[in-house]
């Protein structure tokens, strides 16, 4: 497995490049049907090919199903926006921090204003399954240093 310095994996090494998107004028019914057909948990919402939001299974459970939205409601009315995103050159440790701090499970990868991938829990599982013991030890050490570094400052 290719790594950056100090056993820190980069986003480009683990991201899924197959991102599903819809225009901001699509309906929640269209989004739901697409998610079911593609067997995915999120769709990046675009406006003029620029990412403006994301709609996830959680949005359906916590927003759409709990309020009186119709099937014709535009995704732009219920999507999470602005979209929390990362770049492909960020480290996996950065992504872990962002996902934990923002309490999100899916993060689009955006470079130069274009969506080029997505990172979800599935990508972390693939990383751990493919990593060698040495890779895992280095990644864990990097994570511990990053998360707990403030605890040991005077």
Q: State pLDDT tens for residues 82-114.
A: 999 999 999 888 888 888 888 888 999 999 999
Nearest to 83 by CA among 43, 60, 51: 51
Q: Domain map of the chain by residue range?
A: 8-148
Out of 10-19, 90-99, 127-136, the most confident range is 10-19
Please report the pLDDT score of residue 145 as a whole number.
66
- CATH code of domain 8-148: 3.10.580.10
Please report the pLDDT score of residue 4 as a whole number.
44
The token duo for 45 is 């919402």
Distance in angstroms (rounded) separating the CA atoms of residues 43 and 22: 7
What's CA 79's distance to the chain center, in Å? 14
Please report the pLDDT score of residue 89 as a whole number.
95
In the chain the first and final C-alpha atoms are separated, in Å, by: 37
Cβ-proximal residues to 101 (8 Å cutoff; 6+ apart), any chain = none
> Edge-to-edge strand order for the sheet containing 21-23?
21-23, 42-47, 50-56
**Which band of pLDDT confidence, cut at 50, 70 and 90, is reported for residue 5?**
very low
């Amino acid at each position: 497995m290719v790594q950056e310095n100090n056993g820190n994996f980069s986003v480009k090494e683990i991201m899924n490049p197959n991102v599903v998107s819809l225009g901001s004028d699509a309906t929640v019914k269209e989004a739901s049907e697409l998610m079911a057909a593609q067997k995915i948990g999120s769709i990046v919402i675009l406006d003029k090919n620029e990412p403006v939001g994301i709609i996830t299974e959680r949005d359906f459970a916590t927003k759409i199903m709990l309020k009186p939205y119709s099937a014709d409601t535009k995704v732009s009315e219920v999507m999470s926006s602005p979209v929390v995103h990362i770049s492909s050159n960020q480290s996996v440790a950065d992504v872990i921090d962002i996902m934990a701090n923002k309490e999100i499970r899916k993060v689009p990868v955006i470079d130069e204003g274009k969506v080029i991938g997505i990172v979800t829990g599935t990508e972390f599982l693939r990383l751990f399954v493919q990593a060698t013991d040495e890779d895992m030890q280095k990644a864990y050490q990097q994570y511990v240093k990053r998360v707990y570094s403030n605890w040991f400052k005077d």
